[in-house]
Amino acid sequence: MGGFLGFVYRQWTVKPKPLPPALSLSGKTALITGANSGLGLEAARELVSRRLSRLIIAVRDPSKVWPLDHDSYESIAGFGKRTEKLERLDYALLNAGVKMMSYEKSALGHETNVQINHLGTSAVSLAVLPALNKTSKKFNTSTRLTIVSSEGHFWIPFKERTASNILMHMDDPKTFGTQQQRYYTSKLLNVLWTRELASKISPEEVVVNTVNPGFCYSGLHRHSASFINVFLWLFAWTPEQGGSCLTDALVRQGGSHGAYVSEQRLTAPSPFVLSPEGATVQKKIWSETIALLKQEAPAIDMSMVA
């Protein structure tokens, strides 16, 4: 798992399957971030086709659905408060993300991949926890929170891990790296955050996992170099197949918690994540993220993990 040849083999041989037609999500409510296009949209369509009672699509454009901007903590806090007013929230799929190929500073002052993919996603995960927890207690059922990561978390050196403050260090343009390194690092942060978040929440209340949707045709690649089109032609899954990977991780994979789901099965994350050093960095990333959010986003409810 994790090597280029393994990646090629899986992309050519694995054929993700949609949810069983007989599976019914009647009575359930789900929210998906970044579901206005691509894999998120296909996941939304598949959930609705399985008789989901209510679907909330959260994107930056407020004219379309529930507004949610990962580069605004005010937006994230408001979104969380709105979810708490729902009658129930059974599933939350945090799919929104970017892949920036050159250094850009976000509106909040952090490197954009880190802000949108890690800090924003982490803040949203905390903001929706109260609604998921309330549902689990009210209806005596486990709810599910799934964060979209990437197999790319296997492939980066993560040199920033030795810095005294990792997240602050990653705001320095000199640390950005080349090509997709920073994007893949942000996906590693997703895995580390998910594992630590899961350690602080009972799976009987909220099951927390992360998922690799595979390499798929998607607008995510719009900032990539032109040669990406060759890789897409050779190896990519369809958006529908990627969406099925997301829905599978969201509503199936029973008995999991803090897990990494890839090719629609529970899979070991990268050796670094499982190493003693990875465990130490995982807790460091958690502490730094919580401290940053307490300072920059005090309106977000963090009581479940305090």
Catalytic site residue 187? yes
Q: Give yes or no for residue 112 having a pLDDT over 90.
A: yes
Number of neighbouring beta carbons within 10 Å of residue 249: 28
Q: Once rounded to an integer, what is the mean pLDDT over residues 146-158?
A: 95
Contact 115, 108 (CB under 8 A): yes
Q: Give yes or no for residue 149 having a pLDDT over 80.
A: yes
Q: Which of 150, 256, 262, 270 is catalytic?
A: 150
Q: 90 — phi, psi (to 5°)?
A: -95, -35
**The whole model's pTM is what?**
0.94
Tokens representing 133 are: 């927890």
Q: Give yes or no for residue 176 having a pLDDT over 80.
A: yes
Catalytic site residue 73? no
196 pLDDT band (50/70/90 cuts)?
very high
Q: What is the pLDDT of residue 221?
A: 56
Condensed to tens digits (0 to 9), the pLDDT of residues 35-92 reads: 988 999 999 999 999 999 999 999 876 666 899 999 999 999 999 999 999 999 999 9
Q: Which of 73, 183, 217, 260 is catalytic?
A: 183
* Radius of gyration from C-alpha coordinates of the chain: 18
Q: Once rounded to an integer, what is the mean pLDDT over residues 276-303?
A: 97
β-bridge mates for residue 267, sequence order: 260
Condensed to tens digits (0 to 9), the pLDDT of residues 223-277 reads: 655 666 777 767 888 999 999 999 999 999 988 999 999 999 999 999 999 999 9
For residue 79, give every residue at least 6 positions away whose Cβ sits within 8 Å of its Cβ, in sequence order, or none: 58, 66, 67, 68, 124, 127, 128
Q: What is the pLDDT of residue 5?
A: 80
| Domain boundaries defined on the chain | 4-296
β-bridge mates for residue 32, sequence order: 57, 93
User: Distance between CA 206 and CA 201 in Å, rounded?
Assistant: 7
Q: Which of 187, 218, 260, 270 is catalytic?
A: 187
217 pLDDT band (50/70/90 cuts)?
confident
Q: Give yes or no for residue 113 having a pLDDT over 70.
A: yes
Catalytic site residue 150? yes
For residue 182, give every residue at least 6 positions away whose Cβ sits within 8 Å of its Cβ, in sequence order, or none: 100, 103, 111, 113, 114, 170, 176
Q: What is the pLDDT of residue 63?
A: 63
β-bridge mates for residue 148, sequence order: 211
Number of neighbouring beta carbons within 10 Å of residue 109: 10
Nearest to 240 by CA among 85, 49, 54, 107: 49
Q: Once rounded to an integer, what is the mean pLDDT over residues 288-294?
A: 98
Q: Which amino acid is at 289?
A: T
User: Distance between CA 91 and CA 27 in Å, rounded?
Assistant: 12
What architecture (CATH level 2) is domain 4-296?
Answer: 3-Layer(aba) Sandwich (3.40)
Q: What is the pLDDT of residue 59?
A: 86
